[in-house]
C-alpha cells in the first residue's frame, strides 16, 4: 500500500536513492538495451522475464479494479452520483480522444513523414499483417458490445477483459447501495480485502526491474536499433506529436486544474519507467489507482475513471492511428482529400472503441480503420510493422499520462479534488511511496 505520512505519525526516513524502484527500473532498462544491442541472440531469450512480470501484474488487475470500483460506488451511497461521474468521464474521454485524432491528422499533413517514399502497394506483402486484419474483423463494434457480457458473475475476476470486470463491479457496487445495512457489512469486508490485494501489488512491484530488463533486452535484441533508422521520420514525428500533446494540451488542462504537468510526470516517474520498460500501461494500472488517490482524488472517482480510461481514453493510440494512416497514404502516393481524412478520423474513433482491451490494440485498430477506408491500402501496414514496437512504448506512456490527468479533471468537476493535498504531493512536501 501507499505509505502516507501524517502529523500524528512522523514519516519514516526516505529510502536511499539506489533503493527507489524507479531508479532500479531505469538501470534495468539501460542494461537491457545494452544487452539487446551487443548480444541480441542472448537478449531474445530473456523474453519470458518481461512476459512473466506483465502476467503477474495482469493476475492482480481484475481484483484491484473490482474492489476499487465496488467500494467507491458503495461509498457514494447515491446512484445519481455514480451516473454523474460516469457521464463526466465519458464526456472527457470523447472530447480528448477526438482532439488526439485531430492532432495526429494535423501533424501528418504538416510534416508529411511518408512523402517521397513512392511505394507501389502491389509490391507489399499483405500476408505479414494478415493476423492483425483478422483480429480487426473480430473486434468490430457488435463484437465489442457482446464482449461486455461475461460468461458468469465470477469469470471477469479470473480473466483479462477489463471491460467485463468493470460491468460486474458496477453492477455489484450498485446492488450494495440498494440493500442497506446488509450491504454495509459486505463493504467493510471488501475494504479489508482491498488492503491485502494492494499489499500483493506492492510485493509484485519488487520484480519490476527484472521484468523491465527482460522486456527491453528482447525488444532491442529482436528488432534492433537499426530498424528505427529506416523509418526515423515517422517514429520521430510520432514521439514529437505525443510530447506536444502532453505538454501543450494536457499541460493546459493541468494549469486549469491548478497543477503542473511536469510535476505530475515527476510524481509518476516510477510508473512511467515501468510502462516504458514493459511496453504495457497495464503493468502500472494498480499503482496509478493508488497514487492518484494519494494525490487528493476521491477513491470513487479514481475507481471509475482510471479503469474505464484504460479502454476509452487512449490519447497516444489515437494520435498513432491518424498519423500512421496518413503516413501509409503518403508513402503509397495516395491523395486523401479533407473529406476522406475526416471520414478516416470518424472511423478511427469508432474502431478504437471496438478493440478496447485487446492486446496490441494500436496496430489492430489501425487495421480495422484502414479496412473500412479503402483509399489507403491495408498492405501498407507492412511498412511500419518493424518499428511498431518502438512506437508502442510512446503510445502506452501517452495513454498513461492522459488517464492520470483525466482522474484529476473529473475529480475537480465533482468538487471532490483536495487541491491542497494535490499540491503538497506533487511538490514533494508530502512523500508518497509504493
Question: What domains lie within the chain, and their CATH numbers?
Answer: 18-426 (1.10.3860.10)
- Residue 101 in grid coordinates: 485524432
The predicted pLDDT at position 352 comes to 65
- Residue 242 in grid coordinates: 505525443
Which residues, at least 6 apart from 154, have a Cβ–Cβ distance to it below 8 Å? none
d(CA 336, CA 338) in angstroms, rounded, equals 7
Interaxial angle between packed helices 315-331 and 338-354, expressed in degrees from 0 to 180 and rounded to the nearest 10: 140
CB burial readout 221-253, b (16+ within 10 A) else e: bebeeebbeebebbbebbbebbeebbeebbbeb
Residue in the block written with cell 460506488 = 73
d(CA 184, CA 77) in angstroms, rounded, equals 10
The predicted pLDDT at position 407 comes to 93
The predicted pLDDT at position 12 comes to 45
Q: What is the mean pLDDT of each run of 10 residues along the chain (434 residues)?
A: 41 56 79 87 86 80 81 73 84 91 91 77 59 52 67 75 78 83 82 84 82 82 66 85 94 92 92 81 82 89 85 86 87 82 79 51 69 73 72 86 94 89 86 65
The predicted pLDDT at position 331 comes to 82
The predicted pLDDT at position 344 comes to 81
pTM above 0.85, yes or no: no
d(CA 292, CA 419) in angstroms, rounded, equals 12
Which residues, at least 6 apart from 164, have a Cβ–Cβ distance to it below 8 Å? 147, 148, 149, 150, 155, 156
Amino acid at each position: 500500500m501507499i505509505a502516507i505520512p501524517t502529523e500524528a505519525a512522523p514519516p519514516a526516513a526516505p529510502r536511499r536513492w539506489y533503493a527507489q524502484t524507479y531508479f532500479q527500473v531505469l538501470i534495468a532498462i539501460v542494461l537491457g538495451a545494452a544487452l539487446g544491442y551487443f548480444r541480441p541472440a542472448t537478449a531474445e531469450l530473456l523474453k519470458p522475464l518481461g512476459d512473466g512480470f506483465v502476467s503477474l501484474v495482469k493476475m492482480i488487475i481484475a481484483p484491484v479494479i473490482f474492489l476499487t470500483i465496488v467500494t467507491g460506488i458503495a461509498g457514494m451511497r447515491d446512484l445519481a452520483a455514480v451516473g454523474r461521474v460516469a457521464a463526466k468521464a465519458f464526456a472527457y474521454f470523447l472530447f480528448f480522444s477526438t482532439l488526439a485524432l485531430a492532432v495526429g491528422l494535423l501533424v501528418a499533413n504538416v510534416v508529411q513523414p511518408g512523402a517521397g517514399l513512392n511505394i507501389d502497394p502491389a509490391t507489399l506483402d499483405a500476408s505479414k499483417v494478415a493476423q492483425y486484419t483478422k483480429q480487426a474483423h473480430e473486434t468490430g463494434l457488435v463484437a465489442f458490445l457482446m464482449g461486455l457480457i461475461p460468461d458468469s458473475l465470477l469469470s471477469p475476476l479470473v480473466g483479462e477483459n477489463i471491460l467485463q470486470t468493470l460491468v460486474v463491479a458496477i453492477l455489484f457496487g450498485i446492488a450494495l447501495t440498494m440493500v442497506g445495512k446488509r450491504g454495509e457489512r459486505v463493504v467493510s469486508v471488501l475494504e479489508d480485502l482491498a488492503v491485502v490485494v494492494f499489499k500483493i501489488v506492492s510485493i509484485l512491484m519488487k520484480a519490476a526491474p527484472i521484468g523491465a530488463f527482460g522486456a527491453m533486452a528482447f525488444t532491442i535484441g529482436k528488432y534492433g536499433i537499426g530498424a528505427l533508422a529506416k523509418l526515423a521520420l515517422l517514429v520521430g514525428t510520432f514521439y514529437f506529436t505525443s510530447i506536444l500533446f502532453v505538454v501543450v494540451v494536457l499541460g493546459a488542462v493541468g494549469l486549469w486544474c491548478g497543477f503542473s504537468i511536469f510535476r505530475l510526470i515527476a510524481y509518476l516517474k516510477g510508473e512511467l519507467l515501468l510502462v516504458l520498460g514493459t511496453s504495457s500501461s497495464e503493468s502500472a494500472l494498480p499503482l496509478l489507482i493508488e497514487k492518484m488517490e494519494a494525490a487528493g482524488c476521491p477513491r470513487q472517482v479514481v475507481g471509475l475513471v482510471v479503469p474505464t480510461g484504460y479502454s476509452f481514453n487512449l490519447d497516444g493510440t489515437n494520435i498513432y492511428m491518424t498519423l500512421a494512416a496518413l503516413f501509409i497514404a503518403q508513402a503509397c502516393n495516395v491523395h486523401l482529400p479533407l473529406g476522406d481524412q475526416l471520414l478516416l478520423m470518424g472511423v478511427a474513433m469508432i474502431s478504437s472503441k471496438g478493440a478496447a482491451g485487446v492486446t496490441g490494440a494500436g496496430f489492430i485498430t489501425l487495421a480495422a480503420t484502414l479496412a473500412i477506408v479503402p483509399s489507403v491500402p491495408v498492405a501498407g501496414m507492412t511498412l511500419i510493422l518493424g518499428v511498431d514496437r518502438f512506437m508502442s512504448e510512446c503510445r502506452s506512456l501517452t495513454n498513461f499520462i492522459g488517464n492520470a490527468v483525466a482522474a484529476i479533471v473529473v475529480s475537480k468537476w465533482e468538487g471532490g479534488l483536495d487541491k491542497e493535498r494535490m499540491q503538497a504531493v506533487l511538490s514533494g512536501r508530502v512523500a508518497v511511496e509504493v
